[in-house]
């Protein structure tokens, strides 16, 4: 989904972004249906397989620094078995979204508007992040980390009174 982006974050609200309000005309935010939940579960499973493939120790927990390690491993992987950019972004994005839902007491939603349909994480009305897009934007930028984005998101939410789980 194309959307107006803040300079630092894929996680934004209408009041934080300089966007024309008409961009949100006809926007629909829906809970995941059974098919969406299966797709997400499959991507999470692929993310777990990547953790094993790159021999990272998740100990049953996925942390943002571990997801950063996955990014580094994937970027440095020149093997024929390396998954595609889209496969990697979807798998790691799903895991990042899981971390966000837990940290922000949020939920996955499906967002549809004139630009398309995307999977997002909503922490409160009007505050939707796009974890898969966040990973895609960091694939070819070795200086960009999910930890940096996560810290920005947490700072924003703490300064705006969102309770953290």
Q: Which CATH class is domain 31-154?
A: mainly alpha
Count helices and strands (H / E) in the chain.
Answer: 5, 5
The token pair at 83 is 């998954």
pLDDT of residue 138: 95
pLDDT of residue 12: 38
Nearest to 45 by CA among 102, 97, 108, 92: 92
Q: pTM score, two decimals?
A: 0.82
Tell me which H or E stretch contains 102. helix 85-104
pLDDT tens digits, one per residue of 116-140: 899 999 998 878 999 999 999 999 9
Query: What interhelical angle do 34-53 and 85-104 show, nearest 10?
Result: 110
């Amino acid at each position: 989904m194309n959307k107006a982006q803040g300079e630092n974050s894929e996680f934004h609200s209408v009041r934080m972004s300089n966007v024309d309000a008409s961009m949100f005309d006809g926007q629909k935010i829906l809970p995941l249906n059974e098919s969406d939940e299966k797709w997400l579960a499959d991507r999470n499973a692929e993310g777990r397989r990547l953790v094993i493939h790159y021999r990272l120790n998740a100990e049953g927990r996925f942390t943002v620094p571990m997801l950063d390690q996955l990014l580094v491993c994937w970027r440095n992987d020149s093997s024929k078995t390396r998954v595609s950019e889209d496969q990697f972004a979807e798998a790691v994005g799903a895991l990042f979204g899981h971390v966000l839902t837990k940290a922000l007491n949020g939920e996955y939603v499906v967002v549809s508007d004139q630009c398309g349909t995307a999977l997002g994480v909503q922490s409160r009305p009007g505050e939707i992040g796009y974890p898969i897009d966040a990973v895609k934007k960091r694939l070819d930028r070795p200086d960009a980390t999910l930890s940096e984005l996560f810290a920005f998101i947490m700072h924003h939410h703490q300064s705006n009174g969102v309770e953290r789980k």
